[in-house]
């Protein structure tokens, strides 16, 4: 969603104090806003997530929710980070006033990488030249692995989409040279971001719903790559011990989902 008229929103107080560069509004969602700014030094970029107070809410309830949600998100990130799940590190936070500074993840959203890759493909009805899908399939596998690691840790993301994953560029040595520039658009470590709706759970059901949300988002965002989504699930399957039973549960969730025929 376009960040509409930056000036419309008052900055969180912390961002009104002197800094080397003015903060820039990156995204504005229903729950909060995301700014790009700095932590401690001008050379340390960070993202500041701000949950403004909601005037419609009773002040006591508002304070309680703001604090609990910043705390919950920070705890989930800490847990994931320590377990080696690729998520941004937490730098600083103030739960009472509703902000959190986290690592700035370099790179582009996975959604963009996928679209760039697909953009170069011939259209479906054009007879496809035998082409190497390996770099794309590898990305699908890295996505499955990242989500698998997340679930192994006991965390449910709650809003998995290809916009909530970043492709963090590899060091030049890691980058493949033989597949050329085409492969570059889908290279990079998959880093999961935006844990605003995350919860802690290890149930098959919750994990399956999390996967189902991703599957649906993937199908609607990248319909032309839908057939390759199986690689995500295949790699997820090997990420942790209980993954196969989650995938069985996913079948049930899909059936229910179709009956409900929901969107969004």
The site for another protein (CB under 8 A) is made up of 1, 8, 14-15, 17-20, 29-31, 37-42, 44, 54-58, 60-61, 64-65, 71, 74-75, 77-78, 81-84, 89-97, 101, 158-159, 197, 199, 260-264
Short-list 56, 59, 10, 67, CA closest to 33: 10
Can you give the three-state secondary structure of 93-149, one letter per residue? EECCCCEEEEECCCCEEHHHHHHHHHHCCCCCCCCCCCCCCHHHHHHHHHHHHHHHH
Instruction: Supply the angle between the helices 134-152 and 204-221 in degrees, to the nearest 10.
Output: 150
Q: Which is nearer to another protein, 29 or 122 (CB)?
A: 29
d(CA 193, CA 190): 10
Q: Which is nearer to another protein, 21 or 248 (CB)?
A: 21
Q: Which is nearer to another protein, 37 or 235 (CB)?
A: 37
Question: Please, are residues 57 and 45 in contact by the beta-carbon 8 Å criterion?
Answer: no
Is 159 catalytic? The answer is yes
Contacts of 127 (CB under 8 A, 6+ apart): none
Q: Which is nearer to another protein, 96 or 128 (CB)?
A: 96
Strands (E), 171-257: 189-192, 199-200
d(CA 187, CA 107): 10
Contacts of 108 (CB under 8 A, 6+ apart): 166, 167
Q: Which is nearer to another protein, 53 or 134 (CB)?
A: 53
Contacts of 93 (CB under 8 A, 6+ apart): 70, 74, 99, 100, 101
Q: Which is nearer to another protein, 83 or 133 (CB)?
A: 83
d(CA 111, CA 92): 28
**In angstroms, what is the minimal distance from the CB of 126 to another protein?**
28
Q: Which of 62, 94, 138, 159 is catalytic?
A: 159
Question: Please, are residues 53 and 99 in contact by the beta-carbon 8 Å criterion?
Answer: no
User: Which are the catalytic amino acids?
Assistant: 159
């Amino acid at each position: 969603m376009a960040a509409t008229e930056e000036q419309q929103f008052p900055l969180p107080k912390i961002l009104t104090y002197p800094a080397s560069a003015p903060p820039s509004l990156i995204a504005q969602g229903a729950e909060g806003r995301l700014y790009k700014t700095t932590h401690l030094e001008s050379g340390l970029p960070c993202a500041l997530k701000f949950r403004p107070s909601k005037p419609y809410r009773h002040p006591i309830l508002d304070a309680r929710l703001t604090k609990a949600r910043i705390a919950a998100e920070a705890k989930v990130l800490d847990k994931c980070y320590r377990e080696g799940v690729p998520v941004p590190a937490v730098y600083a936070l103030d739960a009472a006033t509703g902000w959190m500074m986290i690592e700035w993840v370099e790179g582009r959203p996975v959604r963009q990488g996928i679209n760039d890759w697909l953009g170069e493909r011939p259209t479906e009805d054009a007879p496809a030249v035998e082409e190497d899908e390996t770099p794309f399939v590898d990305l699908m596998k890295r996505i499955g692995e990242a989500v698998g690691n997340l679930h192994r840790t006991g965390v449910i993301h709650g809003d998995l989409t290809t916009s909530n994953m970043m492709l963090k560029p590899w060091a030049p040595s890691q980058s493949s040279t033989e597949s050329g520039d085409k492969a570059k658009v889908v290279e990079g470590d998959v880093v999961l971001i935006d844990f605003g709706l995350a919860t802690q759970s290890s149930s098959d059901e919750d994990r399956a719903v999390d996967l189902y949300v991703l599957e649906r988002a993937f199908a609607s965002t990248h319909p032309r790559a839908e057939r390759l989504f199986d690689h995500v699930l295949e790699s997820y399957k090997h990420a942790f011990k209980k993954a196969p039973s989650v995938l069985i549960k996913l079948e049930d969730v899909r059936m229910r989902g179709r009956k409900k025929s929901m969107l969004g």
